[in-house]
Amino acid sequence: MSKSPDTDATNMIAQAFGSDFVLVPIASILPVKAIEKTAKASHKYRQIAASIREIGLVEPPVVIQDTRDTNSYLLLDGHLRIEVLRDLGQTEVECLLSTDDEAFTYNKRISRLSPVQEQRMIAKAIERNVPRDKIARALDINVRSVARKVQLLDGICQEAIGLLKDKICPMAVFDVLRKMSPLRQIEAAELLINANTSPSVTLRPYWPERPRRNLRHHKRPNA
């Protein structure tokens, strides 16, 4: 039995913003929250500024037209990005035009890069002949840190990488895993996923008290 058109229309998910970007004067964008005085001294602000200077704006701010003034827009997401653009002397910015006056979704549903995803992103950029110093400037890190991130997964088995591919954890975790045999790497990765504590706290009792046979390179005792 086929569904009626009315039922299909009811089950459709409404789009939360327009399909096209809109070019908005920065002077017409009104923030919905105040930026703290210390924000411009934060590491996050420096990272955003470095990224915009080097490669441009990646994620457009989200605005909604002010119902009281059609020439103004309320800023729902992207307060630091707008501040950076102002400091860089920009006068206009491409924005997503929201259809709903709510900022919860943009601030709650954030997709952060895991170390594995970041490593693959950097490795792919290098494969495409992007200079390492340009990558370092875009990420606001030094070239030595770029090299360390590129080598992050060296010595880690594919099964462990697959388990941690979308998990947020310190880079030091991979330094510990690298010393383990592949089987122990998988067990440790599963332990990190199932634990509710900090990864470094979770691995502390797991390493180095494990038997030496679990090391990646261990010497057999002389007969």
**pLDDT tens track for 3-24:** 555 555 556 777 777 778 899 9
Query: Could you give the maximum distance between any two Cα atoms of the chain, in Å?
Result: 87
pLDDT attached to residue 223? 46
> How many other C-beta atoms are found inside a 10 Å radius of the C-beta of residue 38?
8
pLDDT attached to residue 220? 53
State pLDDT tens for residues 70-116: 889 999 989 999 999 999 999 999 999 988 877 666 666 667 789 99
- Beta-bridged to residue 215, according to DSSP, are 180
Mean pLDDT over 120-130 rounds to 94
Q: How many Å apart are CA 76 and CA 62, to the nearest integer?
A: 5
- 97 touches 65 (CB < 8 A): yes
pLDDT attached to residue 10? 55
Residue 73 CB burial class (10 angstroms; 0-12, 13-18, ≥19): buried
Q: What is the DSSP letter of 114?
A: P
Q: What is the DSSP letter of 30?
A: E
Percentage of the chain beyond pLDDT 90 is: 48
Work out the mean pLDDT of the chain and round it to a whole number. 83
Greater confidence (43 vs 109) lies with 43
| pLDDT of 1 above 60 | no
Q: How confident is the model at residue 209 (pLDDT cuts 50, 70, 90)?
A: very low
Domains in the chain with CATH codes: 15-101 (3.90.1530.10), 112-152 (no CATH), 169-217 (no CATH)
Q: How confident is the model at residue 145 (pLDDT cuts 50, 70, 90)?
A: very high
Comparing CA positions, the residue from 138, 140, 171 lying closest to residue 154 is 171
pLDDT attached to residue 219? 53
Residue 22 host element (H or E)? strand 17-25
Mean pLDDT over 186-205 rounds to 69
pLDDT attached to residue 130? 93
Q: How confident is the model at residue 62 (pLDDT cuts 50, 70, 90)?
A: very high
Comparing CA positions, the residue from 135, 138, 156, 155 lying closest to residue 147 is 135
Overall pTM surpassing 0.75 (yes/no):
no
